[in-house]
Amino acid sequence: MKNHPFKQLSLKNGLISYVDKSNAEKIIARQQLERTYIRNGIVYAIKADFLKKQKKLLGEKSGCLVIDREIVNIDTEDDFKRLSEILKK
């Protein structure tokens, strides 16, 4: 819950503020926030027809598989090192 959208901040001209200013005054304890998910990009199953017409990944009837373990996208050498550390555990 540390990455919840209501807790996200932005930095502009050296000043920090909430990204979603409409909820800035309503911020509650993180334990009370609704669970959110971060797209990891492991797999997408999309009909080409939908993608061509809608030009987006999510439709009104999109679903997902929640992976409840640590995921590492290997894009950099640091990512590879992080994966090595996880595999040692």
pLDDT in tens, 20-35: 877 666 766 777 788 8
- Report which of residues 45 and 21 the model is more confident about: 45
Whole-angstrom Cα distance, residue 78 to residue 87?
14
pLDDT averaged over every residue in the chain: 83
Based on the structure, what is the number of domains in the chain?
A: 2
Residue 66: is its pLDDT beyond 60? Answer: yes
Confidence of residue 64 (pLDDT cuts 50, 70, 90): confident
Q: Do 16 and 47 share a domain, yes or no? A: no
Instruction: Domain of residue 6: give its range.
Output: 1-36
Q: Do 24 and 48 share a domain, yes or no? A: no
Any idea which residue has 């959208």 for tokens? 5
Q: Do 26 and 60 share a domain, yes or no? A: no
**Does the pTM exceed 0.75?**
no
